[in-house]
Structure 1
């Protein structure tokens, strides 16, 4: 992987190639890891992600013709449209725009709409992107693009929106311009990140608290164990689980599973089928695990959260049934090698698991997981550490 400084330089170099701009300023935003709180976001529940050191950088130059041009190191063809055309493009004609470009162009569109600013009153821009956020590991490279674009354009255009509003801009871009029905967790984590801290987010109210993690002081690191198994949400697994959550909430007469306590689950048994009950049980208990994790961090420190992480994985494996053999192998091998705790992270059906480990055991755990994959006949995993890091902003 490249380092952040390499990526910032790559963005500037690309902007020079595309637009002739030299020494352009750059902004950046991070990817994220979700420490705990899976499939709780669309149930109006709680999540607990943190921003990571891997970032998307954007270099920006202004232009005087009312156009916006976006270019990236991962697609050789820049995309250029008039700012005045964005309202016509999104969402009705979004399919006319290549998918990656919908992210930054969608942010420009959503930002202008959120601020109530007419496109004719802002300067045209050239934007060049480079990223070191690992793609396919569930680390939200999309939110990193959105956050970098939103902070760069807001500053350039003099739009005064706070970080929560900019996160909403990113979510609208992803929902309406890209066409991905995601929640707001990723954007909030990318915007609100802070070193050695995570964002405790209420997905109903969008109230957010930055909670100290204390990993560094406790001599702990977080490993990401990317299985290389591609997510298969398109097969219907994600939609089926979301529908099951909605059925369970309707059976109990509440707006969302956020409003259901663990005590209510006994009553739910007589109202829904066994599969729906298990789906609901995961969400209800996972919400409680997020609250327990935040409380435990405050009262006992990060070394005490391991059991909650493991319980989360068991719930996703058995009740929500979104794990796969590679994820289970990663978690089991990490724990057997001495990890404090481990769980799959993200939407499931592939992707990555995480393991909280002592700094002096990181290599041992890494080797153990790699060996377990080899023994099982799986492709080698990509294993690396992530560090809780600052959120989006202008680079120094």
Structure 2
């Protein structure tokens, strides 16, 4: 029972004089008549008392003799909108009743704003689809050579949820891996000799509060879509949502690279983190001194046509991108011609960028085949007999070109197919045990928001 209810309520057996004293004691100039169980029976104002006395009533009579039973009330917890409308119609005080009609609260025009309640943060980061330039985004290449990668993001996401705790404990749930980690404090997590990727991200961020962290994904592990980078980016973004001085998009991408590549030790380049953080179609340039993300504005007709002509094909073969990048690095260091291959890939990337922005999509699709032929020469581990068979079947069925996404060795093929040949290509790869997956381009990068804890 609120203090206002105690001040303004009187019992039904009390007198009219008691009601007058109650009314005059409060600024609202009203009294609420209740029974022993606090059920509201009526309201009394100075006007009600005056009318009763003018009709010959006495002040020592029970207050029920002059109370108004036709009163306006609201249910406890009524929406603020309803209260504001009632006050705007002239009411100064509204009794708030529970389901049994008992007086629980008195609402006034000076009612306080709703109290602050705990919040949780959520974020989602899209995966990337790399068209050309992969491998050139490795530091040991672009430290001495100009590099560029052409990519976009699609509507498959890593989803993160962060629920702060008051006790300092940390719980991490990787739903796709059915893995849980529990730590009594951040200090215990930092001292752990071996950490998962999510725990490594936390170790980089070092939040000063306990929390429950949940991560799930729309894509399989080892898909070649940059899934680990999307997961890392979403996790960083969900912590960023609760910061007062938020990191910008470049900083999010750089933290993701630090956590995934340097601290956790997954070998690879820089493009995945930038693509997932920024989203949309981008030409990403890598240099010794700086990395730059150049957003590509496509006409709707070009974007829609490209989306209609691309087929995403799951080979069903998982891959280890980190190990493939290690092998590629070893072979590049051992053979100078690999550097020439990467430079050729960068040149092709810029050609594809030209075809894309001009809407010359048939030429763009043919360049995918060139990109794949170059990519296979980076390392002997990138393709094998089964992958070559899948690719050959798609081309024989009508695909103009295609490439394996990611570092290679498995994951998803991306084929450029004119829509009239799409079903033949889908059937051809299905005969080899592959599944195609529908997708839509995603123009936004990592997105975070907060909501009340229900």
The alignment's TM-score, normalised by the length of structure 1, stands at 0.72
How far does residue 63 in structure 1 lie from its aligned partner after superposition?
A: 0.9
**Could you list the runs of 5+ residues in structure 1 that have no partner in the other structure?**
1-20, 113-118, 248-275, 374-379
Residue 155 in 1 paired to residue 209 in 2? no
1:68 to 144, 161, 170: 170
Q: Residue 142 of structure 1 corresponds to which residue in structure 2?
A: 228
1:206 to 288, 291, 312: 291
CA distance in 2, matches of 1:107, 1:244: 30
Q: Specify whether residues 332 and 299 from structure 1 end up closer, same or farther in structure 2 by C-alpha distance, changes over 3 A only.
A: same
How far does residue 200 in structure 1 lie from its aligned partner after superposition?
A: 1.3
Q: Residue 315 of structure 2 corresponds to which residue in structure 1?
A: 227
2:415 to 335, 355, 367: 355
2:270 to 184, 194, 198: 184
Q: Residue 197 of structure 2 corresponds to which residue in structure 1?
A: 103
Q: Deviations over 1:274-308 (max 9, x none)?
A: xx254233212111111111112123433331221
Q: Are the counterparts in 2 of residues 222 and 385 from structure 1 also a CA contact under 8 Å? A: no
How far does residue 171 in structure 1 lie from its aligned partner after superposition?
A: 1.3
1:215 to 272, 296, 303: 303
Q: Specify whether residues 354 and 218 from structure 1 end up closer, same or farther in structure 2 by C-alpha distance, changes over 3 A only.
A: closer
CA distance in 1, matches of 2:240, 2:128: 22
How far does residue 79 in structure 1 lie from its aligned partner after superposition?
A: 1.3
Q: Specify whether residues 246 and 312 from structure 1 end up closer, same or farther in structure 2 by C-alpha distance, changes over 3 A only.
A: same
Structure having greater relative contact order (Cα 8 Å, sep ≥ 6): 1
Q: Specify whether residues 352 and 62 from structure 1 end up closer, same or farther in structure 2 by C-alpha distance, changes over 3 A only.
A: same
Q: Specify whether residues 157 and 218 from structure 1 end up closer, same or farther in structure 2 by C-alpha distance, changes over 3 A only.
A: closer
Bigger CA drift: 305-314 or 329-338? 329-338
Q: Are the counterparts in 2 of residues 103 and 145 from structure 1 also a CA contact under 8 Å? A: no
Q: Are the counterparts in 2 of residues 34 and 48 from structure 1 also a CA contact under 8 Å? A: yes
Q: Residue 391 of structure 1 corresponds to which residue in structure 2?
A: 445
1:167 to 248, 253, 263: 253
Q: Specify whether residues 317 and 74 from structure 1 end up closer, same or farther in structure 2 by C-alpha distance, changes over 3 A only.
A: closer
Q: Specify whether residues 368 and 395 from structure 1 end up closer, same or farther in structure 2 by C-alpha distance, changes over 3 A only.
A: farther
Q: Specify whether residues 25 and 87 from structure 1 end up closer, same or farther in structure 2 by C-alpha distance, changes over 3 A only.
A: closer
Please list, as runs of the form range in 1=range in 2, the aligned pairs for 1:264-275 lying within 5 A after superposition: none
Q: Are the counterparts in 2 of residues 62 and 125 from structure 1 also a CA contact under 8 Å? A: yes
Structure 1 ranges of 4+ moved more than 6 A? none
3-state SS of the aligned residue for 1:109?
helix
Q: Which has the larger radius of gyration?
A: 2
CA distance in 1, matches of 2:394, 2:415: 7
3-state SS of the aligned residue for 2:303?
coil
CA distance in 2, matches of 1:226, 1:143: 19
Q: Are the counterparts in 2 of residues 324 and 350 from structure 1 also a CA contact under 8 Å? A: no
Residue 30 in 1 paired to residue 83 in 2? no
Q: Are the counterparts in 2 of residues 70 and 127 from structure 1 also a CA contact under 8 Å? A: yes
**Could you list the runs of 5+ residues in structure 2 that have no partner in the other structure?**
1-116
Q: Residue 45 of structure 2 corresponds to which residue in structure 1?
A: none
Two-structure CA RMSD over aligned residues (Å): 2.8
CA distance in 2, matches of 1:202, 1:67: 41
Q: Residue 46 of structure 2 corresponds to which residue in structure 1?
A: none
Residue 83 in 1 paired to residue 186 in 2? yes
How far does residue 75 in structure 1 lie from its aligned partner after superposition?
A: 4.3
Q: Are the counterparts in 1 of residues 134 and 406 from structure 2 also a CA contact under 8 Å? A: yes
Q: Specify whether residues 217 and 354 from structure 1 end up closer, same or farther in structure 2 by C-alpha distance, changes over 3 A only.
A: closer
Q: What is the total number of aligned residue pairs between the two structures?
A: 320
